Structure 1
């Protein structure tokens, strides 16, 4: 799942990014409201985590603009101002939740999980392809009854392949969905991740060719019989 972090405090932004990546989220981090707005025009985010006090475009106006333009991604606002009026203003602007700095990291992560679950309500979050299953909420991957331990990038890559099903996942789409915009992986890097993912799937009992290479285009899951 992809999160946009909008925080102008570089130290806090770095620590939050590190904590979120450990939880296997893909994190794009920007320092001001205008940059955040520009990122939302390129990517669809599963959640936006933003400070209220931001350069160029503050969090309240950013949230209002996002909602006015039809953005439905959950928004969690962070602020140092702990008054009822501030919370009302943030929620009225379209935020889904509000946390006051300094906050407990585990409480923040729990709030993020709750917002992501809410956004998935009414649909089964578990992705399946034959005996392969992936739960985006619990980060559990199984082949039959065999659990598969994946790195965050491997997990995101497999999730993207499952969401595409029999359609080919191009290398460009793979980079957009798995890597952050600050990263620019080489083709050999992608091949290495695919190779490692295939090896872990095979160890769990999956066919060697579960992930097929479509030469010159990208990758897809092998069609089910």
Structure 2
């Protein structure tokens, strides 16, 4: 797996690169947002470790730029690169903002290197692993191998996090899943009981999945969510 480490502190950057290479990864590095964009287009990484606070642009702007302008040919970058944000900002609000804006995990400084590597591997498993057979509920279909989603035959574009969330709901169709369990399965991260990120992403899914068709995603008040086909 090819990783890109983006951090403006040389000591932190070198430490991360050394630890990740020792763990078996191929690693490129950048110290600014512009360098990160250039490196990402050069190596097309499988995952980016991205500092939020960079000297020329913030990490959110970097990943937004990569995903909106992926390039082509030799400079092509995957449309949705998994991202682990690194930052000293450690409030729950900051963590939720980071994930809402496209991060797959959010690690605060100072961090334990072994825990960080474990989180990197967990994100790579979630975004690259085999999720199983094609799932169907009513006219909604999700293909984990092809990473495709359709409703009534029409393609639906989902972010990696939205895709994992929908997969979790569809794999448990008809069952109510508590918010805390969704948080654990989709993000593999503990927010100390704050499940606001789940509600945010459910609203994203509803706009894409339930727009123009019978409602499939339902709220079980005080508990969580359930995906089920329309009653006949």
Determine the structure 1 residue equivalent to 2:45: 45
Which of 110, 116, 138 is residue 118 of structure 2 equivalent to? 110
User: Secondary structure, in 3 states, of the residue corresponding to 1:41?
Assistant: helix
5 Å-filtered alignment, 1:77-96, equals 77-96=85-104
What root-mean-square deviation, in Å, do the aligned CA atoms of Structure 1 and Structure 2 show?
1.6
1:13 paired with 2:13, answer yes
Alignment TM-score, normalising by the size of structure 2: 0.51
Deviation at 1:4, TM superposition (A): 0.3
Counterparts of 2:109 and 2:48, CA distance in 1: 17
Unpaired stretches in structure 2, ≥5 consecutive residues: 71-78, 133-232
Q: Name the structure 1 match of 2:66.
A: 66
For residue 89 of structure 2, give the secondary structure of its aligned residue in structure 1.
Answer: coil
Q: Distance in 1 between matches of 2:20 and 2:129?
A: 22
Give how far 1:123 is off: 7.3
After superposition, residues 72-151 of structure 1 pair within 5 angstroms as: 72-122=80-130
| TM-score, normalised by the number of residues in structure 1 | 0.52
Q: Conserved in 2, the CA contact under 8 Å of 1:61 and 1:93?
A: no
For structure 1, the 5+ residue unaligned runs are 125-225
Higher relative contact order (CA 8 A, sep 6+): 1
Q: Distance between the aligned counterparts of 2:97 and 2:62, measured in 1?
A: 13
Quote the Cα distance in structure 1 between the aligned partners of 2:23 and 2:126: 18
Structure 2 CA distance for aligned equivalents of residues 56 and 81 of structure 1? 18
Q: Shift of residue 72 of structure 1?
A: 1.6
